[in-house]
């Protein structure tokens, strides 16, 4: 009798612990603001693979997909409201909620330094207040933006040209005299094809992903800024996680952010590919090139500081190169 009681007890304990283990596995909903499997989504996709491999029985991410599932400029709202738990997105896509996020493009120091110099902590407060979110990992860095054109220019002057933008480029392109029109990346091909725009802003990598090379004749050098794409998590979703679940996420995030410097290798590959595709480089050299880049940073910081005077000035101290 005694033995039977023990067996029953042991069996019920075993089933209870199995039950607890399965109840502990949590599934987060993940979305990307760039097309699936394209350059700016790939880091996020590697992150999801790692979380799903390391987090078996603990935590999983259900990848909902990209702009076919949700317009890119809606991703910030969805994260803030908890419609999605985790998102791959750039600051320029949620300036409606947090204009300061667009300042990531102006960093002239590695993320490791920004994490140690107080810049990350400063931004983290703004993420919590304005986005109800946490920035887990910046996986794109060292990836400059460029002007791409269908018509040539002979000096750093965009007067008379209409260019596709996001908030990343607005202040700089306007300072150079351009007329601007904001679109999501998914609308760039059609805008070029219809001649609605004479060019667009985009980083050095990725123009082949959506076929834009077919409609692009010129790239303007030098590049400017450093593109930022990051993985964010909703604060309430994060707070619900247990320590072991958080660890799977933070380990994968640190692993991914440490790879961001390697993005620069991919830059070279796309530069060669653009050349092979017949895209001509219009290069501003020497003092003209330096002035062009300085104007980009001046216009960029002026734009951030205008929208958020106190935080903008503070972020410049953390992000800009010390002179």
List contacts with ligand 173 (CB under 6 A). Answer: 40, 90, 92, 166, 168, 185, 201-203, 227, 229
Instruction: List Cα–Cα distances, 227 to 9, 92, 207, 230, 246, in angstroms.
Output: 59, 10, 14, 10, 27
Q: How far is the CB of 228 from ligand 173 (least distance, A)?
A: 6
CB of 90 to ligand 173, least distance (A): 4
User: Can you tell me which residue has the tokens 């039977």?
Assistant: 4
Axis crossing angle, helix 119-131 with helix 309-319, rounded to the nearest 10: 150
**Contact between 76 and 224 (Cβ < 8 Å):** no
- Asked if 224 and 201 touch (Cβ cutoff 8 Å), the reply is no
Q: How far apart are CA 178 and CA 81, in angstroms?
A: 36
| CB closer to ligand 173, 76 vs 203 | 203
Is 132 or 166 the residue whose CB approaches ligand 173 more closely? 166
Q: How many residues does the chain have?
A: 323
CB of 19 to ligand 173, least distance (A): 44
Give every CB contact of residue 222 below 8 A, 6+ residues apart in sequence. 144, 283, 284, 289, 292, 293
Identity of the residue, 146 or 235, whose beta carbon is nearer to ligand 173 in the bound complex:
146
- Cα–Cα dist 156/147, whole Å: 11
- Taken in order 241, 133, 319, 184, the sign of the CA dihedral is positive
Identify the CA nearest to 105 among candidates 116, 97, 95, 117.
95
Smaller CB separation from ligand 173, 99 or 201: 201
Q: Which is nearer to ligand 173, 40 or 218 (CB)?
A: 40
CB nearer to ligand 173: pick between 38 and 52: 38
CB of 133 to ligand 173, least distance (A): 18
C-beta of 176 vs 229, nearer to ligand 173: 229
Q: Compute the distance between CA of residue 173 and CA of residue 163 in angstroms, rounded to an integer.
A: 8
Q: 136 Cβ partners below 8 Å, 6+ apart? A: 86, 230, 231, 232, 233, 249, 250, 253
* Residue showing tokens 């599932």: 69
Compute the least distance from the CB of residue 117 to ligand 173, in Å. Answer: 23
Please state the closest distance from residue 92 (CB atom) to ligand 173, in A: 4
Least CB distance from residue 30 to ligand 173, whole Å? 18
Nearer to ligand 173, 90 or 245 (CB): 90
Residue, CB closest to ligand 173: 166
Q: How far is the CB of 68 from ligand 173 (least distance, A)?
A: 16
Write out the two tokens for 270.
């796309």
């Amino acid at each position: 009798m005694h033995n039977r009681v023990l067996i029953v007890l042991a069996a019920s304990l075993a089933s209870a612990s199995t039950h607890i283990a399965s109840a502990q596995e949590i599934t987060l909903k993940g979305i990307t603001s760039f097309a699936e499997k394209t350059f700016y989504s790939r880091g996020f996709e590697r992150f999801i693979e790692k979380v799903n491999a390391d987090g078996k029985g603990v935590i999983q991410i259900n990848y909902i997909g990209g702009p076919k599932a949700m317009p890119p400029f809606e991703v910030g709202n969805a994260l803030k409201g908890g419609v999605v738990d985790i998102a791959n997105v750039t600051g320029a896509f949620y300036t409606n909620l947090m204009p300061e996020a667009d300042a990531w493009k102006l960093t002239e120091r590695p993320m490791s330094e920004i994490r140690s110099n107080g810049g990350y902590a400063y931004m983290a407060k703004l993420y919590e207040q304005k986005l109800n979110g946490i920035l887990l990992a910046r996986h794109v860095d060292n990836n400059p933006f460029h002007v791409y054109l269908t018509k040539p220019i002979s000096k750093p002057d965009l007067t008379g040209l209409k260019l596709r933008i996001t908030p990343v480029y607005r202040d700089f392109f306007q300072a150079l005299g351009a007329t601007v029109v904001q679109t999501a990346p998914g609308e760039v091909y059609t805008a070029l094809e219809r001649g609605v725009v004479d060019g667009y802003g985009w980083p050095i990598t990725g123009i082949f992903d959506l076929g834009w090379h077919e409609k692009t004749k010129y790239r303007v050098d030098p590049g400017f800024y450093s593109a930022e794409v990051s993985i964010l998590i909703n604060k309430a979703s994060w707070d619900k996680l247990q320590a072991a679940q958080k660890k799977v996420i933070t380990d994968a995030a640190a692993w991914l952010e440490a790879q961001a410097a390697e993005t620069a290798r991919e830059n070279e590959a796309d530069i060669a590919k653009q050349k092979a595709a017949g895209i001509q480089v219009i290069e501003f050299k020497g003092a003209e090139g330096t002035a062009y880049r300085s104007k980009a940073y001046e216009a960029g910081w002026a734009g951030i500081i205008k929208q958020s005077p106190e935080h903008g000035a503070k972020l410049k101290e953390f992000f800009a190169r010390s002179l």
